[in-house]
Chain A
Amino acid sequence: MAAQDTTAGAQPIRLRAEGRRWGEDVVKGLLALCALVSVATTIGIIIALLEPSIEFFREVSIVDFFSGERWAPLFEPASFGVRPLLAGTFAVTFWACVVALPLGLGAAVYLSEYARPHVRNTLKPALEVLAGIPTVVFGFFALTFFTPLLQDFGIGVGIFNVLSAGLVMGVMLIPTVASISEDAMAAVPRELRDGAFGLGASKLQVATRIVIPAAVSGIVASYVLAISRAVGETMIVLIAAGGIAQLTADPREPAQTMTAFIGATGLGDVPTGSLEYKTIFAVGLSLFVITFFMNIISIRLVRKYREIYE
């Protein structure tokens, strides 16, 4: 049947837009540009790290870099074995984990399984306060309070030492572990717990045998994230762990981490383009690669636990 437009005297119906609505395209373009800033940042980081590193590795062999045991870039003759820095990073991270991983998980279990709702609602944000304290403040605390404290307890630590920095860093990381682990545990459905309680299990058993296993990928994600943060943390180690790059297993000794080295060198006036200048980037690249892989793992794990329950 033919359509009759019998609206006599009506304006002709114009359903096309006046122009092409350029404004809309401009807006979308501008917004995409904003999004590109983050892309540019990543590209910038990669270029900034790679270029000088490549030049560095032309002068210093990669093998020497990763296998050498002496880090003395400013000495004559200079030595570029990065292992002491790696060892320093590992050592501090280790002690940080000794504190953060168990205590963070413990706090998470308490908040998730034991604490009453209003206790939880007060404690959780309070824990976040701990997370909000700047790292330079923790460094100050480690150097001026904790190290003397350890000395008073008879643990013969030096003024600058790995143990103090590591343990304080661990406390700083408790909220990170606690918050992500607690989210993961909260995502475990009630029914699982109820089933276990119904069989006569105690709270301890439900927490350790049901909830933690069910939330394990989230918990591991929190661990990986905490380790990543420990590896990348600068100020606490710069202030409290010292600036001597040495390979030592004794936490009472000072050590220098990758981050502390970068910080200390960057502060100084190293001539641009010199080999010492390029060490910043070579060490920085190693740091970036390590944390990058840990972040990928952590992101994957978080996605996994979210998928299971959502």
Chain B
Amino acid sequence: MSAIPAPLGQRPRGDKVRGTIFYVLLLISVAVGFIVLFTLIVDVVQKGIGYIDPLFFTEPNNPTNPQEAGAKPAILGTIYLMVLLLMFVVPIGVGTAIYLEEYADRERWYNRLLELNIQNLAAVPSIVYGILGLAFLVRGLGLGRVLLAGALILTLLVLPTVIVASREAIRSVPDSIRQGAYALGATQWQVVRRQVLPAAIPGIATGSILALARAIGETAPLLLVGALTYVTVDPSLLGSFTALPVQIYQWIARPQEEFRYLAAAGIMVLLAILLTMNAFAIWLRNRYQRRW
């Protein structure tokens, strides 16, 4: 006589109920994030849409009169930072990745330490990078709170991300390509420059753009390194500057309600920039990704 009391084909009710409750809980877990995302976007658009007008893009900030305030220096600052960042972080990041993937002997302790170091840097709080910038660049080197300092610090902040993405891209180039090039009498650099790098460029580009997008949203380091409260002039390399996320923060920090709406408008612009960059990166990846 079977020990199973219930007729075959029917699970005990308690079991089923538990299973369903569990499933619902899981669904809720997933849903929460999306609900918040949706709510956030709707809220921001609701608050900010009224303040998105040509004025917003052409006028500098006006701490006394929110009706006439704009985000021009902030937007320019963000764009300039992006350009500088691109110039700094891509060569250094890709160079480090090439060194680690193609040249470094993994068995050596210093190379392993290098890898560990990069992993650690990726998780250091962003405000610590701000402290680094404050100590060395702003006060130490006497650069002051200038655009260049901000760009340099953001470079260091996203460097680990670019390195990791570039390494992945380089690693995905099959070894048979390298062997074929070596067998023709190419030197190591020739193999890297003419075969590996060109094949890895799509991955590197995608990773770099995503890293850049992350940097654009960073506020904390810039608070320490630069962006000042009241900037009316357009940013220049060695002049005072502000950036969109910082401007947003400053608007939020003001008591008057209208500045909140300005902040929301600023957020809309920031999110739009981020969305464009991410979409571009994904398009790049889909269009140029090679299936080996």
Contacts and interface: CB of A to CB of B under 8 A. Distances in A.
Q: Do chains A and B touch in the complex (CB under 8 A)?
A: yes
A134 B217 contact: yes
The listed residue with most B CB atoms (<10 A of its CB), out of A130, A234, A288, is A234
28 contacts: A27-B189, A31-B96, A31-B98, A32-B99, A34-B93, A34-B94, A35-B100, A42-B120, A48-B131, A99-B32, A105-B29, A110-B30, A127-B30, A130-B34, A132-B214, A136-B248, A136-B249, A144-B47, A204-B22, A232-B127, A234-B126, A235-B219, A238-B249, A267-B223, A281-B131, A292-B120, A295-B119, A295-B124
Interface stretch (B53-61, B168-176, B260-268): B260-268
Given A234-B219, A263-B127, A136 B253 contact: no
Interface of B: 11, 15, 18-19, 22-23, 25-30, 32-34, 36-37, 39-40, 43-44, 47, 91-96, 98-100, 103-104, 114, 116-121, 123-132, 134-136, 139, 156, 159-160, 163, 187-189, 213-214, 216-220, 223-224, 229, 245, 248-249, 252-253, 260, 263-264, 267, 270-271, 274, 278
Interface in A92-149: 99, 102-107, 109-111, 114, 123, 126-127, 129-130, 132-141, 143-145
Interface of A: 21, 23-24, 27-28, 30-35, 37-39, 41-42, 44-45, 47-49, 51-52, 99, 102-107, 109-111, 114, 123, 126-127, 129-130, 132-141, 143-145, 168, 171, 174-175, 202-204, 207, 225, 228-229, 231-235, 238-239, 259, 262-263, 266-267, 272, 280-281, 284, 287-288, 291-292, 295-296, 298-299
A266 B99 contact: no
Nearest to B270: A134
A31 B95 contact: yes
Contact of A130 (B11, B37, B248, B249): B37
Given A52-B135, A107-B30, A136 B245 contact: yes
A298 B123 contact: yes
Given A41-B132, A174-B33, A281-B131, A259 B120 contact: no
Contacts of B224: 262-263, 266-267
Instruction: Specify the main secondary structure of chain A where it touches its partner.
Output: helix
B8 to A, nearest CB: 11
Given A48-B131, A110-B27, 20 more contacts: A21-B187, A23-B189, A31-B103, A35-B95, A44-B136, A103-B32, A107-B30, A127-B30, A130-B33, A132-B278, A134-B216, A136-B219, A141-B40, A145-B40, A174-B32, A229-B123, A238-B220, A267-B223, A267-B229, A281-B135
Given A136-B245, A137-B270, A234-B220, A110 B26 contact: yes
B159 A204 contact: no
A136 B135 CA distance: 24
Contacts of B28: 103, 106
A134 B275 CA distance: 12
B125 A42 contact: no
B131 A233 contact: no
Instruction: Specify the main secondary structure of chain B where it touches its partner.
Output: helix
A87 B187 CA distance: 58
A103 B248 CA distance: 29
B33 to A, nearest CB: 5
A157 to B, nearest CB: 18
Contacts of B119: 295, 299
A259 to B, nearest CB: 5
B222 to A, nearest CB: 10
B159 A37 contact: yes
A144 B260 contact: yes
A134 B15 CA distance: 43
B159 to A, nearest CB: 6
Nearest to B213: A132
A288 B127 CA distance: 10
Contacts of A235: 219-220, 249
Given A38-B96, A262-B131, A291-B123, A202 B11 contact: yes
